[in-house]
Amino acid sequence: MFTDRELKSIADAFVLEGTYAGSEAIKEGHINNTFKLIMKSGTGGSAYLLQQINTSVFKNPTLLMENVAAVTAFLAEKLASAPESGMRSLRCIPCRAGGIYHTDEKGRVWRIYNYIDNVFSYSCTPSTSLFYKTGSAFGAFMNLLADFPAEKLGETIPDFHNTAARFRNLTAAIGENRSGRLDTCTEEIAFARARADDTYILTGKAAAGLLPLRVTHNDTKLNNILFDKDTDAPVCVVDLDTVMPGLSLYDFGDAIRSGANTAAEDAENPAEVSLSVDLYTAYLRGFLEAAGESLWREEVRLLPFSAKLMTFECGMRFLTDYLDGDVYFRTAYPTHNLVRARAQFALVKDIEKKMALLDAITAETYREITGKTLGEK
């Protein structure tokens, strides 16, 4: 897709150590084209991470890179004073002409990060111990950024986790019925409408000042953490394109939705779908231990609900796309988005059944870690 000559020309636009000696395509990820750059200097060398930003998805690369640069610089400064943590941060490499991204002669937008070596990532959750580490990594990410002024960041994808807005989108899709599929999903539509009031809870509490605005990752999947090959410890949180102002509950809830489900996101048999309480508990403990005192009690109280809400939001997005004719999510067969929606709604049902248990686990885990109860003011 890209010639070696093209990649060398792009690399030459950045302030790199050494001379270009080649590149390797990195296949992980579905949004940006990514390469490992090999640089030679004397008898040694170094490596960098080159990415083409997908401007079809991220239409404002300037805003995106301003967000990423501000957050990574802040993280690097924090981690420099805490080397014992073992955590590392991405750093944006500047361009020779100034700025932190380069636009080539074809209009493609590029950035370069430092390359973090001796690491790997997981694509699924094989154990509670790994999910505990995942919670710890994302909790540490949130804790490190607790005093970053989130209001200074821009929204790279407006209303990304505004569940009330997602419900409005679904309502519009029902009314328009572009695909002509309305009669095939009446049960799913009724399910969503019965939970309409849930969609306003987090945004309402945030507007009332009961939940703080934070720097949120907004894509808290397991494969967005790099682990050390020797120790299996989390080293770095990556894929920061969706870093925006938001609520901690978005990140926690989506991590549980994607990582504590006993079935695949598109499981065809909803009976197979359930929330693993063991995985929820493991992630919760890691997250609370790492997030420390930075979390408000109201945030902690709502952690179980956030798992339900983010799952519901995802289900609504699948159902909306199904009604719109599959224009957003890539599908493998005509009813794929409907199957996905049903699987997400099945997980919502299971979380609702277990909500009292999840509330109790959350309160007890918080007490064990902090010595405080959620009822204290």
Copy the structure tokens of residue 216.
């949120």
Query: In this structure, are residues 188 and 338 in contact, taking their beta carbons and an 8 Å threshold?
Result: yes
Q: Give the tens place of pLDDT for each residue, 280-313.
A: 999 999 999 999 789 999 999 999 999 999 999 9
Query: In this structure, are residues 167 and 316 in contact, taking their beta carbons and an 8 Å threshold?
Result: yes
- Give the phi and the psi of residue 237 in degrees, each rounded to 5: -90, 130
In the chain, the percentage of residues whose pLDDT exceeds 90 is 85
CA distance 142 to 133: 14
Give this prediction's pTM. 0.92
Element (H, E) at 96: none
Sorted by where each begins, the domain ranges of the chain are 4-117, 128-370
In the chain, the percentage of residues whose pLDDT exceeds 70 is 98
Sheet of 119-120: strand order equals 119-120, 225-228, 234-237
Superfamily of the domain at 128-370: Aminoglycoside phosphotransferase (APH), C-terminal lobe (3.90.1200.10)
pLDDT, position 56: 82
Within 13 Å, how many C-alpha atoms sit on residue 124's CB side?
6
Q: Give the tens place of pLDDT for each residue, 362-372.
A: 999 999 999 99
Q: Give the tens place of pLDDT for each residue, 48-98.
A: 999 999 888 888 999 999 999 999 999 999 998 877 778 899 999 999 999
Copy the structure tokens of residue 343.
């699987």
Mean pLDDT of 151-169: 93
Coil, strand, or helix at residue 53? strand
Going from the C-alpha of 142 to that of each of 121, 292, 364, the distances in angstroms are: 20, 10, 22
Q: Give the tens place of pLDDT for each residue, 253-284.
A: 999 999 999 999 999 999 999 999 999 999 99
Query: In this structure, are residues 273 and 292 in contact, taking their beta carbons and an 8 Å threshold?
Result: no
pLDDT, position 377: 45
pLDDT, position 42: 76
Give which of 276, 257, 220, 259 is closest to 345, Cα–Cα: 257
Give which of 118, 142, 104 is closest to 7, Cα–Cα: 104
Q: What is the mean pLDDT of the chain?
A: 93
Query: In this structure, are residues 76 and 89 in contact, taking their beta carbons and an 8 Å threshold?
Result: yes
The domain 4-117 having CATH identifier 3.40.50.2000: the answer here is: no
Give which of 110, 117, 74, 85 is closest to 95, Cα–Cα: 110
CA distance 231 to 282: 19
pLDDT, position 342: 98
